[in-house]
Structures are given as structure tokens and as C-alpha cells.
């Protein structure tokens, strides 16, 4: 809607699937933009005004840096390193074909007990979603939840993409 495509949003709301299908490629293109930009107001406004992908990434990096600074300001001091390790592990956890979140990928030998409070802090602050696996498709869905098998997702898809790109392509590798 911020890019002037209000009529396409209204069409989705109308449920006219025959007409929606005729604009399939437009919806795909807009969805790709959403995946990149996300929904942070400053990034959306910047993109709507300038269509500048590089500036959107700059804004996203600034938002992510502010989040990490907030860890130090608002979280208990002993929790901050765990928060940073969890936060930075999310993109690589999602990139792998793991069926669930693996604490050993956060830190060698990592265990659930060490990170429970950090995960709770991130979810309570609405920085991540904790999505549990379900064992069967039935209603209510919560009745089939496997609470020990979950994945963490960054709340804003554009920020997730920024974290992934920044971690994997823009930071000099220390690997040999």
C-alpha cells in the first residue's frame, strides 16, 4: 500500500480470485519487495519515497544495531551474551534444514536450560516469534504442539534478510 498499490490490496480483501490470478506477477513482485523491505515504518517510508534498496538496508542495519544496544540497556547483564548469541544464530538456524532449533548451533555444547530465559526475553520483547512444531494437523492446533521442537523467527522479515546478508556476505570471514 505504501508504494501506491492500494487497489491490489483492496482486490485481495474482495476475494475475487479470478481477478487476483490475472495479476499474479504483480502480487509476486510486491511480495518480493515486502520480503526485502519488511514493515519497519522508516524503511517502508524510505523505499516508498526513493525506491533505494541500499538506503533501506542502511536503515535496517541501524535498527538491528539499536536492538543489540537495547540488549545491553534493558536485559539483565548476565543474559546479554546469551541474547546476542541467540539473536545471531537465528538466520543460520533457519537456513539449515533442521526440524527444530538446535542449541548446539548457538554454542558448542549449548543446552536448553542455558537459553530458556534469553528466548523468553526475546519473545516477550516481541523481537522473535517462537513457533512450535505440531505432531498432527487438527483443531485446536495447540493440542498437537511439541513444545520441545520449535524454531525462532525474527519478527520482521526484512530485518531477517538484513541479518543474513550482513552476517554472510558483508562481514569479512574469519574462516580459513
* Every domain of the chain and the residues it spans: 77-170
- Which residue would you say has higher pLDDT here, 3 or 131? 131
Check residue 7 and give its pLDDT.
92
Mean pLDDT to the nearest integer, 139-168: 89
Helix extents (H) in 51-176: 53-74, 80-95, 112-124, 157-165
pTM (2 d.p.): 0.82
In whole numbers, what is the pLDDT of the chain averaged over residues? Answer: 90
Tell me, what's the pLDDT at 169? 58
**Where does the pLDDT of residue 173 fall: very low under 50, low under 70, confident under 90, or very high at 90 and above?**
very low
pLDDT of the residue at 13: 93
Distance from C-alpha of 82 to C-alpha of 96, rounded to nearest angstrom: 21
CATH class of 77-170: mainly alpha
pLDDT value of position 174: 43
Q: How far apart are CA 55 and CA 158, in angstroms?
A: 13
What is the model's pLDDT at position 131? 94
Amino acid at each position: 500500500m505504501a508504494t501506491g498499490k492500494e487497489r491490489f490490496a483492496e482486490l485481495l480483501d474482495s476475494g475475487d480470485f479470478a481477478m487476483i490470478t490475472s495479476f499474479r506477477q504483480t502480487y509476486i513482485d510486491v511480495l518480493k519487495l515486502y520480503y526485502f523491505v519488511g514493515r519497519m515504518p522508516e524503511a517502508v517510508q524510505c523505499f516508498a519515497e526513493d525506491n533505494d534498496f541500499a538506503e533501506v538496508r542502511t536503515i535496517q542495519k541501524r535498527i538491528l544495531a539499536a536492538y543489540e544496544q537495547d540488549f545491553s540497556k534493558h536485559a539483565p547483564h548476565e543474559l546479554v551474551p546469551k541474547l546476542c548469541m541467540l539473536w545471531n544464530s537465528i538466520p543460520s538456524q533457519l537456513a539449515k534444514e533442521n526440524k527444530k532449533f538446535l542449541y548446539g548451533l548457538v554454542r558448542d555444547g549449548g543446552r536448553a536450560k542455558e537459553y530458556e530465559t534469553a528466548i523468553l526475553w526475546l519473545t516477550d520483547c516481541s523481537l522473535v516469534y517462537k513457533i512450535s512444531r505440531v505432531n498432527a494437523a487438527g483443531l485446536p492446533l495447540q493440542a498437537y504442539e511439541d513444545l520441545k521442537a520449535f524454531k525462532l523467527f525474527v519478527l520482521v522479515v526484512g530485518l531477517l534478510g538484513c541479518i543474513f546478508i550482513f552476517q554472510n556476505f558483508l562481514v569479512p570471514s574469519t574462516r580459513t
